[in-house]
Amino acid sequence: MATLRQFDGWTRIRSGFGRLRGMVAFWFHALSQPAIDLTLRTHAGLHTRIVESPGRSLSHDELKRLVTQLRTVAAKTLPQDELAYGVFSGEREPLSRAIITLICEEATGQPIAFNALAVMDVTLDGAPVQVTHLGLVMVDPQVRGQGLSWVLYGLTALVLFVRHGLRPKWISSVTQVPAVAGMVAETFSDVFPSPDPAARCSFAHLQLARDIMRRHRHVFGVGAEAGFDEARFVITTAYTGGSDALKKTFADAPKHRDERYNAFCARELDYDRGDDLLQLGRIDLAGARRYLLSEVPRGSLPGLLAAGVMLGLQRLLLPPLHWLDDTRPFGTLRPRQPSRDGDAQRSEAP
C-alpha cells in the first residue's frame, strides 16, 4: 500500500514538472515571437491556441480552416442564426486586427470554444494608442461549466500585457450580459461603467469611448444608427450592425454571482430596445495579479508560479526595467527617441 502511495506521489510530481515545462516553453515563445501563434494544454484533454493577426500570418488554407472552426462553435451556440461581421466574414482585413483564442479537444481536434479579440487604433490626448477589445466569446453548450472562462476571458490579455513589457494596456468590452460585465469590472483596473461606487469616468475614458464609437463600431457589430449615452456609456439600439443574433432578453442573459451586476444591467439597459454597455478599463500589474489569484485554478502549479513571478516583478524589477528602457514611454518617463517603426505610443499608465 505504501508503495502504491509513493508511486502515486511520484506520478503527481512528474505531472507537475511536465506542466511547468510546458508553461515555461509557452512564455518563452510568447515573448520571442514577432506575432503570437502558441498552443498550450490548459485542461485535461484540451489544448488552447492563441493566434495573433491570423489575416496576415496564416496561409489561405490555414485561415480558411481557422474560420471554419470558429463558425463550427458559433453554429452550436446560435443554431438558428449566422453572424455576418468581424472574424466570421473570413476576410483578411478584420482577421488581421484579431487575436483568436481557440480551445479544441486534443483527441479529435473538435473546436469547443473561442474568444476573438480585436486591436483598435485610437487617439488619446492627441497621441496614438491601442485598445484591446475583449471581443466575442462563444462556448459549445455541451461543455459549459467546465472552467473554461479563465482561458477565454483573461489568458490572452495577460499574454499581451507581458509582451508589452508589463506596461498598462487599455481594454474595452461591449456587452449586455451581467456575467461578462461583472467579470470585466472585477478583473481589470479603473473600469467604467461599473456598480462599484469608486468607478469614475475620467477624461481619458471619455476620449477613448468617443473615438471608438466614431471609428470602430464595426468591430463589435454596432450600426451607424445606434446612439451612445456618454453619461452612462450605454450604446442604444446596438444590435443592427451584424450582431443581431446576439441580442438577448434580460431573462436569457447569463447572470453574475454578485447580484450587484445583475441589478446594474437591469437598471441601465433597455433589453427590449437592445442596449449594450461599453466598458473601458486597463490591464495592469494589479489586474494581472487579481486574475492569477482569483481566476486561474488553484491547483495549477504554473499559475501559482506565475503569480509569484508577478509579485516579484512588482516589488523588485519593474522600476529599473522601466527606467532603463529608453525606447518606450511609461508614466512620466518619455522615450529618448521614437522607435524605428515609428510606432512609439503614449503611456497608458495612470
Comparing 119-133, 185-199, 232-246, 249-263, which segment has the lowest mean pLDDT?
232-246
Residue type, 239: Y
What is the spatial distance between Cα 27 and Cα 307, in angstroms, rounded to a whole number? 14
What is the spatial distance between Cα 115 and Cα 103, in angstroms, rounded to a whole number? 9
Matching residue, cell 451612445: 228
Matching residue, cell 501563434: 37
Residue 280 has pLDDT above 90, yes or no: yes
Nearest to residue 132, comparing CAs of 154, 113, 111? 154
Calculate the average pLDDT of the chain: 81
Which 3 state secondary structure label does DSSP give 27? Answer: helix
What is the spatial distance between Cα 269 and Cα 278, in angstroms, rounded to a whole number? 11
Residue 89's pLDDT is 77
What is the spatial distance between Cα 214 and Cα 208, in angstroms, rounded to a whole number? 10
**What number of other Cβ atoms are within 10 A of residue 175's Cβ?**
24
Exposure string (b/e) for 307-345, b if CB count within 10 Å is 16 or more? beebeeebeeebeeebeeeeebbbeeeeeeeeeeeeebb
**Alpha-carbon distance values, 105 to 41, 112, 150, 206, 243 (Å):** 10, 7, 17, 42, 27
Alpha helices in 92-248 (DSSP H): 92-96, 149-150, 156-163, 178-187, 203-215
Q: Which residue has the higher pLDDT, 320 or 273?
A: 273
Q: HSE, CB side, 13 Å, CA atoms: give it for residue 228.
A: 16
Residue 343's pLDDT is 47
What is the spatial distance between Cα 128 and Cα 1, in angstroms, rounded to a whole number? 65
Q: Which residue has the higher pLDDT, 136 or 217?
A: 217
Q: What is the number of residues in the chain?
A: 350
Per the CB < 8 A criterion, the answer to whether 139 and 72 are in contact is no
Q: What contacts 128, CB < 8 A, 6 or more positions away?
A: 121, 122, 343, 345, 346
Residue 117's pLDDT is 92
Per the CB < 8 A criterion, the answer to whether 68 and 10 are in contact is no
Nearest to residue 157, comparing CAs of 173, 175, 176? 173
Confidence bin at 293 (pLDDT 50/70/90)? confident
Comparing 56-70, 192-206, 238-252, 284-298, which segment has the lowest mean pLDDT?
284-298
Rg of the chain over all Cα atoms, to the nearest angstrom? 21
Residue 345's pLDDT is 44
Predicted TM-score (pTM) of this structure: 0.76
Per the CB < 8 A criterion, the answer to whether 277 and 269 are in contact is yes
Rounded to the nearest angstrom, the gap between the alpha carbon of residue 325 and the centroid of all alpha carbons in its chain is: 26
Q: Which residue has the higher pLDDT, 283 or 318?
A: 283
Confidence bin at 290 (pLDDT 50/70/90)? confident
Alpha helices in the chain (DSSP H): 2-32, 54-57, 60-77, 92-96, 149-150, 156-163, 178-187, 203-215, 259-268, 285-294, 301-312, 318-324
Alpha helices in 83-123 (DSSP H): 92-96
pLDDT in tens, 159-190: 888 777 788 999 999 999 999 999 999 989 99
